[in-house]
Each structure stands twice: as C-alpha cells, then as structure tokens.
Structure 1
Amino acid sequence: MTPTPTAANRPGPDTNTAAPGQVRHLSAGQHGIAMQQQRAGDSPIFNVPAAIEIIGDLDIASLRRGLSELIRRHDVLRSRLVHDGPAFAQVVDEPQPALMTVHDLQDLPQQQRENAAHALLDREAARPFDLYTEHGLRLVLVILAPRRHVFFWTMHHLYCDGWSKSVFARDLSFLYAGRDTQLPALDADYGDFVMAQAQADAATEQDHLAYWQRQLAGIATLPGLRHDHPAVPAPQPRGAEVPLRIPATDRVRIEALARTRRATTFMVLQAALVALMHHASGQPDIVISVPYGGRPAAAFEPLIGFFVNVLALRSRVAGAMTFENLMDQVRDTALDGYEHHAVPFQRVVERVGGAAVLQQTSLAFANLPYQDIVLPGAEIRAFPVTRVDIRYELEWHVWEDDCSGGLGGRLIYRSDLFDESSATALATAYQQLLAAAANDAGRRIADLAAMLPVSAASLGHQDVLSGAAAGDVPAPPRTPTEEAVHDIWVDLLHRDEIGVFEDFFDAGGNSLLLAFLSARIREDLDAELTIQHLVGHPTIAAIAAAIDGAGTGERDTSAR
C-alpha cells in the first residue's frame, strides 16, 4: 500500500511548495519518460500542447498574474532535470513571473490571421524542450483582434498527465479571476508522491508483478498489427490523425449499456476496440494499453504532475461470443487490473517482456481543456493544434463533446506504418461497431464485424511479428568491435540473433540491464560509455562506433 502524505511524514515544513533548489528523485513513471526522451534525442515526442480561442474581454495582465501564481502553486512547473551521478534527478527552482510570449497578428489581413496562428502554434507544438535548462511549461498568446485571442500552452509529459490538464484549467480559471482563496489548499507536492512511491511495500509490489506476469504470459510471441508499410527504425515516428464522431443518440445507448452491464462508458469503448482489433488483425488475443489515474491519495488529486500509470489489459476474443460476453470479460479484466495498478508500467515490461506488443494500441478517455476553463466576460472555444507526438502505433482518444452532446475523438496513427485510407477505415469501423453494439449488445462479435469496412485481409499488407517485419534478417556484425558488443548483448539479453541496428530496449533490454551493459563494456572492452550515452545510442552499431572513435581520439562528446 502506498503511504498517504501527512504533515507528520512530509519532509520540511508543511507548505504546498518544495524548497527552491531542492533536488529530488524522479518517480518511476518520470524515469521511464526521461529514458525514452533521451533515446529520442531532440524530439517533441513527449510535448503535450493545448490551445483555446478566447472571444470577448481578456485582461492580459490578469492572465500573466494567474499563470505566475499557478507556477508558484505547482512546483513541477518550475522543475528541470539534473544528473545525479549516473541517474536522473530533478531540481525545483525559485518561483518567477510567468514567461508568456505574445504574438500580435492584427497587422495581417484578416483572412490570413487564423492561418498564420495555426502555422505559428503548430511550429511551437513541435519545438522540443531542453529539460536540463528550461522548465516543462511554455506559454504563448496570439492576438487576432481586440476581442479575439488564442492562448496556447505546452507541457512536457514528464511533468503532466491527462488529469493535470483539468487541474491546470480549473486553477487558472480561479487565479485569473482573483479568486485565489477559493482554491483548495495543497497538502502535498510532487516530491511527496515520489517519496511515497519509493516507500511502497516491496512484498506488495512483488504480488502485483506476479499478477501481471500471469496475466501477460506469452505476449512477446503475439503477432503484431498488419501494416501498410514495413516498420523501419526511426528516431522520431511521425503521427497523423483522423477524427472520431459518435452522435448523441449513440452516446445515450453506450451509457445505458454500461449501466446494464455494471460497467463504465470507458469499458464499452474498450470492448468495442477489442472487437475491432480482433476483426482487423484476425487474432483472438488482443492487448490494449490504457492510462490509469495513479493518484493513490486524495492529497495528490489537486496537483499537476505525472502520476498516471499504464495498464496492459488483455482480452481473448472468439467470434461466437456476444458483445455482452466480451463486455463482461473486459469489465472483469479491467477491475482486476485496477487492483494491481500500483506497480509502474516499466517494471511490468521489464518482468514480462513484449514491449513491442504493449506499444501497438492504446485507448484513452480524454478531457478537453476548453471545456474546463472559465474566464469572466469571455467565451472559450477549441482551437485545434497539430500534435506530432505518438508513442503507439495506434492511439485512440475519445472525449465527451459538450457541444454536440455526443462523443468526439481522434485516431492518431503512425504515418510511416499506415496509410490515411487504412486509418480512416479503422475510425469508420470503430464508430459503426460502437453504434451497432450499443443498439444490440446480444449480437455475436462475428455478426457485428461482418458489416465493417475493414478486415484482416483488407487492412495493410505487411504482417508484423513482435515488431519485426516478417522475413527480416537481423543485420550481422561488420567489424570486430561490433562482434564484441554483439556477444555482450547476446549474453545479457539471452538471445541468439540480434541485429546491429536493433534498439537495445526493443530487443528486451531495460534500465537495469543497461547498467550491466555499461559495466561489461568497461570490463570486456576497456571503454567508458556512460548510461546516458547508451540511452541516446542504443544500437550495437552506434556503441561500436563510439568505442572505435574513442580509440582514434574521435570520441563522441555525448559519451562524456
């Protein structure tokens, strides 16, 4: 059980902010993101952008003041990474006035202003963070007209999650209006969560890990999704998106079905996605990765920060099942998974393997910031921003659409793997399957799927097994150094064939094995490569090149 923060067990005085200059460890989830960000290099893969259009009165001075107080209130918004020996850590800086860049586009012809704003904010959304020199929050205000503005902010995922978006919106609404005293006092900060996670009972965590090991046994051998194009290793996979629109009449039926089956709306959405992935892949064994809130105590609920965990929920589908049967299975599996949510996802991956399978499909029930922000004297509307970040092959996002009364959403897909036509067909099929299942949940999965525009035969032409294109032959070592590094990998990863361009983590490595790899390189090859360098250069070819370069005086400075 995770300890609950109290005034008695918190470090330092009982205040809502960490002491400036305080260095603290990362949470397990943050550590995973920091590792992946370092692997991705100069990439916006973990940028979380959002924008709202403000129609009406806007007091820019009050907005700045509110943002400054928001940054003071939530210390993660003024935190940055530091190195603590070979490990990552974070330092909390002094509160400073909010830095908000203002772009006045009123001099442009009126018909050009909105296009210019979209282009400007799309560039801003794609601008990577330097997590060691800047904080994980950027603020931009675009002036389109005296009573028309666009407020844009980007947070790095290291310091926020989906819940944090609502906290950001609610707090800013109060602070902008000068209603600071109406906000709930903060009885904890993110450092308390890190400490509570570190103090979690080790025996209980082993019980959780044992559950996931049983639940996910054998997933590393599951076939992957069919792709339109072969998977090619890329430092920054690109995402594209197609919209989802579920009308109000279908939403009413979906919510009624959830009540009937003692489930949630999200579980209905998940069951429909499982049925679709079963039909589109032709496989009976489906794993969907879903976010789970991860705030183990009420004191953490008013905080901005990265608390969310990922749960890999596995379903076994047969065409003869009814949708009701599948819903009951999805509900029971989800409830069991929620009981074992406390173990960080990265530790589950390290224990069970199958990282490629766990990064194929995700589903999230999102919230929209424009529906949470209230500014007196102004109307708030959505202002779409192109997102370039993608961490799964297919990411399904659904939200409640207060304007239509239905559900909105989007399917974000890896555009290097899927054509737009395939993604559009999947999105259409999902909407149709949801509508049909909500209308008659007693129908068999096979009957529901028969009407869909996609099938295992029609979606894609590349069969992908465990993340590697069928028929791919691992590239062999080409130099003595590559051969030596290859032998170390084989020993550590217990695999016979590893290509020199294969990613260490995709091959089954984890942060602990990475430390062993660094030590083995030092002992066996008399070369010093830091863990930070290995994270950023996680292939046999890159490691061998760094070792050979060091021997000729051309060592990569990033290895120091």
Structure 2
Amino acid sequence: QKVYNAEELNFEIEEIKVCSEAEVEIKTKDFIKPFDLEKTPLLRVEVISLEEDRHIMLFDMHHIISDGVSMAILTKEFSELYEGKELEELKVQYKDYSAWQLKKKESEEFKSQEEYWLKEFGGEIPVLNLPTDYTRPKVKDFKGGSINFALDKEITEGLRKVARETGSTMYMVLLSNINVLLSKYSGQEDIIVGSPIAGRNHIDLENIIGMFVNTLAIRSTVNSELSFKDYLKSIKDKALKAYENQDYQFEELVDNVNINKDLSRNPLFDVMFVLQNMEEAKIEVEKLTFRPYVSNNNVEKFDITMNAVEGNEEIYFSLSYAT
C-alpha cells in the first residue's frame, strides 16, 4: 500500500456558474470521466452555482475507494464540518481493514467459506440467455437505459404478508419473484443473480470511507413443479447460507471456478438485484438544506440491474438495462 499525506495530493475544487438546469445536465456529463488508478486522488469535486441560494456539488469517485455507505458518510461529515463540529478520530483506517482481510485468508474460517462457494459453483455454470432485440456486442460497452415504476400499496402489503407468513425478508421474496420471471423469459431452471452486501461487519468500520461491498452470487433451481412458497423456502436457505459465507470475495470465486472468459458478459451472472431501505439523505444545517441531486448517467454494468427501494407503503423500482 502507498499512503499519501494530504499535502502530497493535487486536489482542487472547481466552481462553475451556469444559467439553467439544462446546462447542469451537460456539465454533469462532462464532469464524469475515467480515472487513472496510478494517479492520486481518485476523487474529483466540482461546485455548480445555479442561483444565489442553490448550488450543486458533484462528487466523482472511483468505486475502488468508495461504496454507497461511503457516500452517506461523506454527506453527513461534510454537513457536520460545515456546522463547525469536530469529527471523531477513527479507531482504524482502511489500510488496517485491508491488512486484516489479507490475514483472514490464512484462517480456517476462510477455507470453510471457500469450500462452500466452490461447491455451490461446481459443475457446469449456466449462462442466462434472455430474448433480446439486438445482437450482444463482442465486448461489453456499458451503455444503458432505465425504466422506473412502483409497486402500489396493495401489492406491497401482499408481499409483506407472504414475508411474514414464511419468516422471510422482503429481499428473499423479491429475489424469488425475479428468479421466476428470468426462468420464464429464458426457459432455463438454473438461475444465478448477483446481490451486493455491505461487508461492514464490525462497529469500527461503520464510519470509514472505502470499498467494503462484496457481491454474493446466489444460484438456485426454479423447479416449475414446486409451489411458490416452497421455492421461496429454498431461496431463504440459499440467502442465509450466502450471508454466513459473505467474507469470501467475489473476485476470488471468479478466479477459482471453471468459467469461460467472455468479454461480452459479466463473470458468473448477468442480472444484479439490489434492495435498499428508504433513507433519504436530507440534512438541515443553519440556513442550508442538503439533498441528493438525481442524475441519470446511462451506464449499465450488467444486462439488467434491478434496484428496489422499500418505502413505508410502496416499493420503488429502477430497472436499468444494457441498451
């Protein structure tokens, strides 16, 4: 690891004035660019002044240094500093976590987790073939579009009832539904869907900015002879076992299983499912309100990413797809 001091970083915040919302979209698109991983910092910040009392602050961070929780930490700590508060000293740094993770690879627990995942992905690994409008490009181009919709109060309550009756979580209920849908579209029974997991399983990691997220590839057989509740029970078991073995990194799994390296696809799975609880990062500071600025960057890393957010009465979906 190379750890730089703040003085060594060439970091400046650029301020830009614009006259309209349309200009903001253009500036946002120009702002997001690839990073060179050999050059620090892997973060850029820009402030767009739209009106005297309205500004948009843009962060572009390489995923290798941050995750969703990191963005929430950044927003919270920025507003606390703005109020003149002092931040608590961190007990550990990301470099400590990184060293701990490497050491963990020598443990018995790691070997048992590896055994679980290698068994799960033994034999021939399925490739999901969904009917598509266009030919798949030979190399993934990451161009995407998205569709937003919501499940109304009645459907949401129905899903919550199923979850209560079966002792399942909403994640398990929705994943089961997505798998059944993918099975119907593809005519395949062996389905793999990826899901991120926060990976911050120690209290000292709660306030550290960094990439902690791991990906769980959950493989199941959608047997059309099973009732939905029986299939949900099998997904519940799969999800619980995946959580128990969550420290084994997805990259390790990809390196250690027998898959055809295909530049047109993501390794192991082509569909990602993410469920989040509704926590709007709206922060009030004296005379100031911070809230997220929604911008669509038209990037899709997989064939489909299904993002669900559970609100009080409805479930909101953003389905993004490779165009």
TM above 0.5, yes or no, is yes
Structure 2 CA distance, aligned partners of 1:256 and 1:140? 46
Q: Report the Cα offset of residue 289 of structure 1.
A: 0.6
Q: Which residue of 2 aligns with 1:418?
A: none
Alignment: residue pair count = 316
Q: Could you say what the CA RMSD is over the residues aligned between the two structures, in angstroms?
A: 2.5
Q: Are 1:399 and 2:309 an aligned pair?
A: yes
Q: Are 1:167 and 2:73 an aligned pair?
A: yes
Q: Report the Cα offset of residue 129 of structure 1.
A: 1.4
Structure 1 CA distance, aligned partners of 2:43 and 2:161? 40
Amino acid at match of 2:286: P
Structure 1 CA distance, aligned partners of 2:168 and 2:193? 17
Structure 2 CA distance, aligned partners of 1:413 and 1:283? 20
TM-score by length of 2: 0.88
Q: Report the Cα offset of residue 380 of structure 1.
A: 4.3
Amino acid at match of 1:117: V
Q: Are 1:306 and 2:218 an aligned pair?
A: no
Amino acid at match of 2:109: T
SS of alignment partner, residue 329 of structure 1: helix
Q: Are 1:371 and 2:281 an aligned pair?
A: yes
Q: Which runs of 5+ in 1 are unaligned?
A: 1-23, 25-89, 416-560
Structure 2 CA distance, aligned partners of 1:410 and 1:253? 20
TM-superposition CA deviations, 1:501-524 (whole Å, max 9, x none): xxxxxxxxxxxxxxxxxxxxxxxx
> Residue 361 of structure 1 contacts residue 394 of structure 1 at CA under 8 Å; is this kept in 2?
yes
TM-score by length of 1: 0.52
Q: Which deviates more, 187-196 or 288-297?
A: 288-297
Q: Are 1:92 and 2:7 an aligned pair?
A: no
Q: Are 1:116 and 2:116 an aligned pair?
A: no
Structure 2 CA distance, aligned partners of 1:100 and 1:179? 22
Q: What pairs with 1:12-23 in structure 2 (closer than 5 Å)?
A: none
Structure 2 CA distance, aligned partners of 1:348 and 1:283? 23
Q: Report the Cα offset of residue 160 of structure 1.
A: 0.8
Q: Give the direction of change, closer, same or farther, for the CA distance of 1:233–1:254 in structure 2 (3 Å limit).
A: same
Amino acid at match of 1:375: V
> Residue 238 of structure 1 contacts residue 414 of structure 1 at CA under 8 Å; is this kept in 2?
yes
> Residue 209 of structure 1 contacts residue 351 of structure 1 at CA under 8 Å; is this kept in 2?
no
Structure 2 CA distance, aligned partners of 1:395 and 1:219? 24
Amino acid at match of 1:408: Y
> Residue 359 of structure 1 contacts residue 391 of structure 1 at CA under 8 Å; is this kept in 2?
no
> Residue 287 of structure 1 contacts residue 315 of structure 1 at CA under 8 Å; is this kept in 2?
yes
Q: Which residue of 2 aligns with 1:16?
A: none
SS of alignment partner, residue 237 of structure 1: coil
Q: Give the direction of change, closer, same or farther, for the CA distance of 1:342–1:381 in structure 2 (3 Å limit).
A: closer
Amino acid at match of 1:257: V
Q: Which residue of 2 aligns with 1:413?
A: 321
Q: Which residue of 1 aligns with 2:125?
A: 220
> Residue 283 of structure 2 contacts residue 291 of structure 2 at CA under 8 Å; is this kept in 1?
no
Give 1:104's match in structure 2, choosing from 4, 7, 17.
17
SS of alignment partner, residue 325 of structure 1: helix
Q: Report the Cα offset of residue 366 of structure 1.
A: 4.0
Q: Which deviates more, 359-368 or 128-137?
A: 359-368
Q: Which residue of 2 aligns with 1:341?
A: 246
> Residue 122 of structure 1 contacts residue 386 of structure 1 at CA under 8 Å; is this kept in 2?
no
Q: What pairs with 1:23-34 in structure 2 (closer than 5 Å)?
A: 24=1
Name which one, 1 or 2, has greater alpha-carbon Rg. Answer: 1
Q: Which residue of 2 aligns with 1:360?
A: 270
Q: Are 1:178 and 2:84 an aligned pair?
A: yes
Q: Which residue of 1 aligns with 2:63?
A: 157
TM-superposition CA deviations, 1:313-352 (whole Å, max 9, x none): 0111122333322222111101001111111111111222
Structure 2 CA distance, aligned partners of 1:196 and 1:213? 23
- Runs of 4+ in structure 1 off by over 6 angstroms are none
Q: Which residue of 2 aligns with 1:434?
A: none
> Residue 100 of structure 1 contacts residue 138 of structure 1 at CA under 8 Å; is this kept in 2?
yes
Structure 1 CA distance, aligned partners of 2:293 and 2:279? 10
> Residue 240 of structure 1 contacts residue 414 of structure 1 at CA under 8 Å; is this kept in 2?
yes
Q: Which residue of 2 aligns with 1:390?
A: 300
SS of alignment partner, residue 198 of structure 1: helix
Q: Give the direction of change, closer, same or farther, for the CA distance of 1:235–1:329 in structure 2 (3 Å limit).
A: closer
Q: Which residue of 2 aligns with 1:198?
A: 102
